[in-house]
Amino acid sequence: MAAGPPITANSDNLRDKAQVFFEPQLVALGLGENQIKEQNLEELMESLERINEIIANPSSFGTYRISGSISVVLTKTDSHIEVGVLPIALERKKIIKDRIKFLEGEKKIDDLKVKIDDESDEGIRVEIEREMIELRFKLQSEMEKSQKNDAEIDKWQKQAMETEKALLQAQRE
């Protein structure tokens, strides 16, 4: 376990600090955020298996622990907060799954382009082009929806961490 810097009233970046702590282990397994963004479909499927193993056994990664003093009104209390890899692993799983969807959509579009080039019947070509445009629109829509969900998840995670901190503080008082 690692001890981090003192806890302060505005330690909103606890998740970021935990991510810095766990990132070297994730990178060693090919699960770094930038690594995932560069993987092909086959590599992503392997990464999905690895991240599912981590989610099933998060304790194998240890915990990131922050100890410190918190001043609450006129009282000073010692507090300890521990964060495991699970929240970060769940985020990575989402990134992997979103990337898989994107690459599968791109592959379908590429397959349709080949069909268009090979097709001599103009009516069928127009139909395939229409299907390709619909697929592109759907893929773009999914990506925008995913980005919106990411922002909401970040907000919920911050609220959950603040609630956990408050509960830990209350237990120690």
Tens-place pLDDT, residues 80-99: 677 789 889 999 999 999 99
Residues 73 and 81 sit within 8 Å (Cβ to Cβ): no
Mean pLDDT for 153-164 is 63
Dihedral sign (CA 106, 109, 115, 120)? negative
Residue 17: C-alpha distances to residues 8, 23, 104, 120, 127 (Å): 13, 10, 33, 58, 51
Confidence grade of residue 3 (pLDDT, cut at 50, 70, 90): very low
Strand order in the sheet with 75-84: 2-3, 63-72, 75-84
Both structure tokens of 55:
């989610």
Question: Quick one: pLDDT at residue 7?
Answer: 40
Q: Which of 7, 23, 127 is nearest to 71 (CA)?
A: 7
C-alpha pair distances (Å), 9 with each of 55, 63, 169 = 30, 21, 11
- pLDDT beyond 60 at 4: no
Torsion of CA 57, 18, 164, 79, to 10 degrees: 110
CA-based nearest residue to 19, from 34, 40, 6, 8: 34
Q: Write out pLDDT tens, residues 30-79.
A: 999 999 999 999 999 999 999 999 999 998 888 887 765 555 555 556 66
Predicted local distance difference test score (pLDDT) of residue 171: 58
Rounded Cα distance, 47 and 146, in Å: 19
Q: Range of 44's domain? A: 2-172
> What is the per-residue pLDDT for 9?
37
How many domains does the chain contain in total? 1
pLDDT attached to residue 123: 83
**Distance (Å, whole) CA 16 – CA 22:** 10
pLDDT, position 30: 95
Query: Coil, strand, or helix at residue 120?
Result: coil
DSSP annotation of 5 reads: S
Contact 132, 113 (CB under 8 A): yes
DSSP state of 8: -
